[in-house]
Amino acid sequence: MTLALCTLSHSPLIGVNQPAPDVVAEVDGALARAREHVRAFSPDLAVIFGPDHFNGVFYDMLPPFCVGAGAESIGDWRTSAGPLAVDTEAARTIHRQALAAGLDLAVSERMQVDHGIAQPLEFLFGSIDAVPVVPVFVNCAAPPLGPTERIRLLGEAVGRAVSVSGRRVLLIGSGGLSHDPPIPALEGASPEVAERLIAGRNPDEDTVATRVARVVATAQELAAGTSDRAPLAPEWDAEVMETLARGRLSEFDSWSPEDFAAEAGNAAHEVRTWIAAFAALGTAGAYRVTSTYYRPIPEWIAGFAIMTAVVDEQKVTR
């Protein structure tokens, strides 16, 4: 077995705006099971599909997806700052093979990543540099977004590139499910906000504090039932997870970006990272889901979920 998968939600509010202790304990248990899945697989390499929240990627040069041949975490929301242990040669192999497959995958030799990629690495491996990794940025926050089919095709291209490497590769999808945090839109933005969305790298402390306060307040209002943001959507989340588990990934092709936003909030686009990871796993053959966890957690503005999966060896050998 050369490929395995773990997809999981992230949230900047974990450890900041906590739900009831029994909910925290439940999530801790689910994360422990995910870590055990990863430990048992013992990957040589992790490929993580993750979003950015206008911390490392901006409208000044915004690709739909980009592979990092070098990457550094900015250290937002209690995650560690510093370089990731990027496997540059593996990243360049993925880049070359994705281009050859007709995918216009961008490349960065100096990618900046935020908690969308750093937090899952810390959850699963204990640190951002514990395992060789290839980060793959997927635009989930900055409209206009491309067809969902392209994300599936990206995942398949990455999967084919790594499945022949002979290495044990863990595929990670970070994000989602339903949620609607206060991320500003470029269309209709004030000049100040527009400039921040176009080129807002390395903000000053006051700007960071304002953004943190806004997100925390939104979560508190959502938990209290007084928020005007889109509510979490457990039924939509369940449909997404069932479609992934059954391997019916092409069904997502007809889901438009407008559908995602209308049914599950503007940040539900982060499900794109899950679709890419499952599509990559599917290139090795039929797969089976080995664990599933889900709970809507308004304190974290997250339809919070974790899935693990492996290639179904019995079906592969038939």
**Whether pLDDT at 222 is above 90:** yes
**Whether pLDDT at 216 is above 90:** yes
CA 250/CA 275 separation, integer angstroms: 10
CA 73/CA 90 separation, integer angstroms: 19
pLDDT by residue (tens digit) across 251-291?
A: 999 999 999 999 999 999 999 999 999 999 999 999 999 99
Asked if residues 266 and 180 have their Cβ atoms less than 8 Å apart, the reply is yes
User: What does the pLDDT average to over 166-194?
Assistant: 94
Task: Centre a 10 Å sphere on the Cβ of residue 127 and count the other Cβ atoms it contains.
Answer: 13
Bridge partners of 133, per DSSP, are: 46, 86
Average pLDDT over the chain reads 95
Task: Centre a 10 Å sphere on the Cβ of residue 93 and count the other Cβ atoms it contains.
Answer: 17
Chain mean position to CA 150: 16
User: What does the pLDDT average to over 117-144?
Assistant: 97
**Whether pLDDT at 240 is above 90:** yes
pLDDT at 176 (0 to 100) = 83
The share of the chain scoring above pLDDT 70, in percent, equals 99
CA 84/CA 107 separation, integer angstroms: 16
Residue type, 240: V
**Whether pLDDT at 223 is above 60:** yes
pLDDT by residue (tens digit) across 43-54?
A: 999 999 999 999
DSSP state of 102: T
**Whether pLDDT at 58 is above 60:** yes
Compute the Cα dihedral for 196, 73, 155, 248 and give only its sign: negative
Of residues 308 and 1, the one with the higher pLDDT is: 308
Asked if residues 179 and 303 have their Cβ atoms less than 8 Å apart, the reply is yes
Which residues are marked as active site?
A: 115, 179
List Cβ neighbours of 267 (8 Å cut-off, separation of 6 or more): 140, 141, 175, 176, 179, 180, 181, 183, 301
Task: Centre a 10 Å sphere on the Cβ of residue 30 and count the other Cβ atoms it contains.
Answer: 20
Asked if residues 134 and 87 have their Cβ atoms less than 8 Å apart, the reply is yes
pLDDT at 316 (0 to 100) = 62
pLDDT by residue (tens digit) across 5-17?
A: 999 999 999 999 9
**Whether pLDDT at 1 is above 90:** no
pLDDT by residue (tens digit) across 70-123?
A: 999 999 999 999 999 999 999 999 999 999 999 999 999 999 999 999 999 999
CA 126/CA 64 separation, integer angstroms: 29
Using alpha carbons, list the distances in angstroms from residue 42 to 4, 46, 48, 180, 240. 10, 10, 16, 35, 28
- In what helix (H) or strand (E) does residue 183 lie, and over which residues does it extend? none
